[in-house]
Structure 1
Amino acid sequence: MLADQIAHLRPGGLRDGARERALDRLVALAAEALGEVYFRDNGRRAHGLEVELTDLIDLEFEL
């Protein structure tokens, strides 16, 4: 589940390359979640649509 994957990534305490990889993974997970819930509507539409977030400055979600 995406929430489990996100919970394990806490980039604040990581250094250099590990922090960058964790942030990249968080962005990829956010794109995957956004695509699944918003665009693909949990499998009801837009089958095969891929979502990629690029050139982010700030991204904030509220659950």
Structure 2
Amino acid sequence: MTVAETSAPLRLHVQSCKEDPSRYCWFIQEREHIVRQSCYSLPDEHEALAQGCQALQEAAAIWRDSH
């Protein structure tokens, strides 16, 4: 599992998909709660990480604006 963090208390996780371990999904957590996740599995970890990082940046900007 790949994990990325920001200055906001958000963490990006990339892991193999439970339904098809050859594909990957990403999700963003704030503490123990998932705040955003991929809508579909992606063909490889690199693509899941790239899309997840973009979503993490967007979520971090929203978090900063709201605090």
TM-score range relative to shorter protein: 0.3 to 0.5
- RCO higher in structure (CA 8 A, sep ≥6): 2
Q: TM-score, normalised by structure 1?
A: 0.39
Q: Which has the larger radius of gyration?
A: 1
- TM superposition score normalised by structure 2: 0.37
Flag the structure with higher strand content.
Answer: 2
